[in-house]
């Protein structure tokens, strides 16, 4: 059963079964949201946005036109996407840059994703990261600007730059 808190302004009818929309969120008419998502308090989702199934969006996130979030992704508190590389007041581009967060990716709190980039499958971005280029699958990035710092498995095991976990176990980076 889909749950929408009465203080939210949900204009879209394209919201999947089992999705929860919490207090004071705004979802514009053109947005498409999958099943079993959790959209926390005070989230803004614009029109040309596609969100897959089983996505968690924490409080304070803004998702602007041109953004696609694939299944099983996690967006931490206050993650912000941009969609215009040269913004000017009352001047709009012919089309907005496309940004994609691939299946299973996790983006840490207070990260900013600059328009036109792709966050790879199961990639992990540390809190406060500023993403200025696309991130490959299974890579760990963090910092400002975000830099490659290691790898991560599908199950969420963090690996160093050589493919070893905290206990020293070696993983085959080709098979992540």
Residue at 27 is within a domain: yes
The arithmetic mean of pLDDT across residues 74-92, rounded, is 95
Q: Is residue 167 part of a domain?
A: no
Whether 31 is covered by a domain: the verdict is yes
- CA dihedral over 27, 61, 114, 107, signed as positive or negative: negative
The boundaries of the domain holding residue 68 are 3-159
Indicate whether 165 belongs to any domain.
Answer: no
Residue range 87-103: mean pLDDT, rounded: 94
In a domain, 164, yes or no: no
What is the tally of structural domains in the chain? Answer: 1
Query: Tell me: the pLDDT tens digits for 98-129?
Result: 999 999 999 999 999 999 999 999 999 999 99
Q: For the whole model, what pTM was predicted?
A: 0.96
φ and ψ at residue 173, rounded to 5 degrees? -65, -20
pLDDT confidence of residue 167: 97
pLDDT cut 70: percent of the chain above it: 100
CATH number (domain holding residue 154): 2.160.10.10
- Confirm whether 127 is domain-assigned: yes
pLDDT of 175: 93
Tell me if 174 is assigned to some domain: no
Question: Is residue 62 included in any domain, yes or no?
Answer: yes
Say which residues have a Cβ less than 8 Å from residue 74's Cβ, sequence separation at least 6.
55, 56, 105, 106, 107
Per-residue pLDDT at 90 = 95
Q: Write out pLDDT tens, residues 47-67.
A: 999 999 999 999 999 999 999
pLDDT in tens, 128-145: 999 999 999 999 999 999
């Amino acid at each position: 059963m889909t749950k929408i808190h009465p203080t939210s302004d949900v204009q879209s009818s394209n919201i999947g079964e089992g999705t929860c929309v919490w207090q004071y969120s705004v979802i514009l008419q053109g947005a498409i949201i999958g099943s079993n998502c959790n959209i926390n308090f005070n989230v803004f989702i614009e029109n040309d946005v596609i969100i897959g199934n089983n996505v968690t969006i924490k409080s304070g996130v803004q998702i602007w036109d041109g953004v696609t979030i694939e299944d099983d992704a996690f967006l931490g508190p206050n993650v912000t996407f941009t969609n215009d590389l040269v913004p000017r007041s009352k001047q709009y581009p012919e089309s907005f840059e496309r940004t994609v967060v691939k299946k299973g990716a996790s983006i840490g709190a207070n990260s900013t994703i600059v328009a036109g980039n792709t966050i790879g499958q199961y990639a992990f971005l540390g809190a406060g990261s500023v993403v200025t280029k696309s991130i490959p699958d299974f890579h760990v990035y963090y910092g400002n600007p975000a830099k490659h710092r290691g790898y991560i498995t599908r199950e969420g095991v963090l690996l160093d730059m050589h493919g070893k976990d905290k206990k020293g176990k070696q993983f085959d980076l080709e098979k992540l």
